[in-house]
Amino acid sequence: MNRKYNFAVILSGCGVYDGAEIHEAVLTLLAIDKAGSNYQCYAPDIKQHHVLNHYTGKEIMESRIVLEESARIARGKIKPLNEFNESLHDGIIFPGGFGVAKNLSSFAFEGANCEINKEVEQAVLKMVKAQKPIGALCIAPAVISKILKGAEVTIGKDEDTIKAIQGMGGIHQERGHGEICIDRKYKLVTTPCYMLDATISQIEEGATNVVQAMLSLMK
């Protein structure tokens, strides 16, 4: 009988411009479920960097909490990231969205000089130590390349982001829609998703390919 693998999915809010990219997050959960595996969502219990009106693009003078907004995507079934325990999971995945670059790190503002949320950094380092695979979509690979020195990742083709990755000591590999990049030393699987001008079907393809490659690395 096949065992069920357990994925941790790390969210960064709810909405592409100030939180987790919703399509990438949902289609990651779908890919895990369709592969016959389980997922548990986590998010840090911190304030969002800011709140953007996604209709106008303008800032709203409000304060929202990353854990509470991420809970919308998780239908309430989410844990604070400080409860993350690597022994309970076979893999960890970061969907994209500006939340990864604004809430989980300061990458959106400081590029290669960014700081990383300590709970995020610890979760990634614990998985590497346990030799368990890490997945990252969209902009998330750039943030992971700050944590894992010399990591080989893809974020697609965006030149400024590629320079920032190289500035953090990362190695960038160009990839197209749905394609993945695998760094075998870190067991790190990445894909561009909406870093390219993608359709929602292409996001599903990317998320599915990341999950499948992670499952191969688990076996």
**Residue 116 gets which letter from DSSP?**
B
Residue 5 Cβ vs a second copy, minimum distance, rounded to whole Å: 15
Segment lying near a second copy (by CB under 8 A), choices 114-122, 138-146, 149-157, 200-208: 200-208
Among 1, 2, 56, 61, binds a second copy (CB under 8 A): 56
Burial class (CB in 10 A: 0-12, 13-18, 19+), 128: buried
Q: Phi then psi for 96, rounded to 5 degrees?
A: -90, -150
Distance between CA atoms of residues 149 and 158, nearest Å: 20
Segment lying near a second copy (by CB under 8 A), choices 53-61, 132-140, 164-172, 208-216: 53-61
**Closest to a second copy by CB, 74 or 151:** 74
**Residue 65 gets which letter from DSSP?**
B
Residue 158 sits at the vertex; the CA angle it makes with 43 and 147, to the nearest 5 degrees, is 40
User: Which of the residues 68 through 107 are near a second copy (CB under 8 A)?
Assistant: 68-69, 71-76, 78
Write down the residue that tokens 């690395």 correspond to.
217
Catalytic residue among 14, 41, 114, 138: 138
Instruction: Examine residue 207 and tell whether it contacts a second copy (CB under 8 A).
Output: no
Instruction: Examine residue 2 and tell whether it contacts a second copy (CB under 8 A).
Output: no
Distance between CA atoms of residues 167 and 185, nearest Å: 20
Which has the closest alpha carbon to 188: 215, 139, 146, 151?
A: 151
To the query of whether residue 138 is one of the catalytic residues in this protein, the response is yes
Contacts with a second copy by CB under 8 A lie at 14-17, 19, 21-23, 26-27, 29-30, 33-34, 53-57, 60, 62, 65, 67-69, 71-76, 78, 194, 199-201, 204
Question: Which of the residues are catalytic?
Answer: 138
